[in-house]
Structure 1
Amino acid sequence: MNRQKFIDKFMAAFFILAILKIIGILAQLFHQSFWEVIWTLVVFAFVAIMIFAVLLRLEKKEKGQNSSGGKSRGGSVYIETSIFDKIRNKYEELAEKYIAEKDYKKAAKVYMNLLQDHYRGARTLEDGGFYTEAAVVYLKKLKNRTDAAACYEKAKQYKKAIDLYKELEQKEKVGDLYRIINDIKNSNTYYQMVVDDYVSNSQMVKGSLIYRKKMEMPEEAQKILLKGWEENKDAFNCLNNYFANIFDVKQLEHSIQELYQKTPEDKKIIYLDAMKHEFKKDPKLQTATRNIAYEIITEKVAGHSEIVNELKHFNPDDEVILKDISRYKTGRNKMFRN
């Protein structure tokens, strides 16, 4: 097939497709407003005229080459590529023009109807703040529930967003949206699922944060942290957060002493690390935390000589302690050399 025949056939096919497209646009009158359909028709007619002009120019150029005896070069593949590139570029320019004019709906129609690019169409609608329309495209055309849910959320259509997040098994997000619409019962149901998942994965601190920050259940948060400490599931962070959630200094001092009495031998060094943090919180805590530290160091120094270094954390301004630590370490080294 030479180029002239290809152009003639392409023009005939384009003419038939244009008629079918016009019929399709007019059929939209059954579910869209009259002026929306007319505008779509005007846009299509404008683009069709530009494409037809390109085809006429190519046909004229080809006829000129044939009349002058010129030989065909590149074949129909080159012509086909050239035509479609020019058409696509015209569509791209039209979409960019509409975006520059902040007419995001028209730009989206160009992307979806003329370029068959539903993703860019949805993105354009989202950028323009047409979140519901964007969600429909994400869901129906792209089967993208994640972006559809996010758009419904932005559009404040929370029930639709909740349904999608449930399908995606994003339980915390479901809880968040139920809380926004003031459905506390369902909100806490889904938050509890999140807590249960964290606990089953030994992520006690994260579970406690859901109780405290989102469910407003500080007592349950403390229970889960205490459970993590007792069961040695991220023990230090559980203990540290447990103490951090006690704001009354007297109550905190009591809890520190009470919990220490229940601490098994194999976890006392972890408790000592926690005391270094508590010592710095308030001068009123220094006596209790220092005494606990001394007791632990005394018990453990025989098997862990390096533990004497921890004394400096509880006597930061005492130069005598630092010298005593140095002498102890020097004397112990001499003993081992002998």
Structure 2
Amino acid sequence: MTDVIRRKIDRARPAVAEGAPGADRGWRLALSRATRDAMGLDLEVRSLSVARFSLAEILETVPDRALLSLLDGPQGGLGVLMLSPMVTATLIEMQTLGRLSPQAPAPRRPSRIDAAMVAGVIDRALVGLDETLAEEADLAWAGGFRYASWLEDARPLALMLEEDAYRVLTAEVGMGGGGRTGQVILVLPAEGRGDRPAVAAEAAESAAPQFTQELQAQVLQADCRLDAVIGRLRLPLHRIMALAAGETLVLPTATLEDVALETLDGRRVAGARLGQNRGMRALKLNETPVSARMPMPAAPLAVPNPAPKTAASQGTTDPGEIPVATDLRAAG
């Protein structure tokens, strides 16, 4: 219910709050200039909308047979650039033949070769977006992304992308004088992780304290090993001794959503979710580490030593007297 209410509130917000006109204007210019400078293709952005989507909504908006490019951003942020089949075919045809044929090609599924051929154009467009937003506040969430890899289909996005809100820039484009049309969809995390505008950053750097190189070298020498534990299994000793090569062990409590991050002595310090980053397995923390949320130890409670009991009172207990253990008495 909370997700539904949040989604309705996000949709009711005006377009200006979603990043326009900074990212709107910047992406129009960057996309058109990238195709023109890279291959001499005239690309016109006929319309562009900026909206907030959840991860589930993004998976529903993926065009059929779209080329999906995974983008790597600041602080481990991930984005996606989707090219509709007509846009992909036009870019490939312009690069291979140097011109567009009168008849549009039939739509087909993109390949790894297609992704490699358009990667340069994608990076050129993203660099152009950074340049146009150099003094804009939208640079914090739209800047710093580059091409990382290609996805064969949209199914891995459910595990690779975080369960956060995203800004989705949907551009309806016309190519080659308007004879061919298609969509270019840019998906970026809604919360800004990138650099702020240059003017604001310079003012902040002048007031912020800086670490010295010596301190940085000492901090980087510290080392700590953590193990990611997906699940555990307890077996009797005779069962372990009877294990054979190729045998499969079932982990009943294993889950990708609750991976334990533990020290060498088996102490759990945080929980995480299993995913990917730049094609490698990665973990995203989903709870605060124990050391960060553990309260400071309170001062020991001082317990006064009771008065010595007489021989006549050893068999009874005063109602106002609190019994104290012998080891606490010794500790003071």
Q: TM-score, normalised by structure 1?
A: 0.23
Structure with the higher strand share, 1 or 2: 2
Structure with the higher helix share, 1 or 2: 1
Query: Which protein shows a greater Rg?
Result: 1
Q: TM-score, normalised by structure 2?
A: 0.23
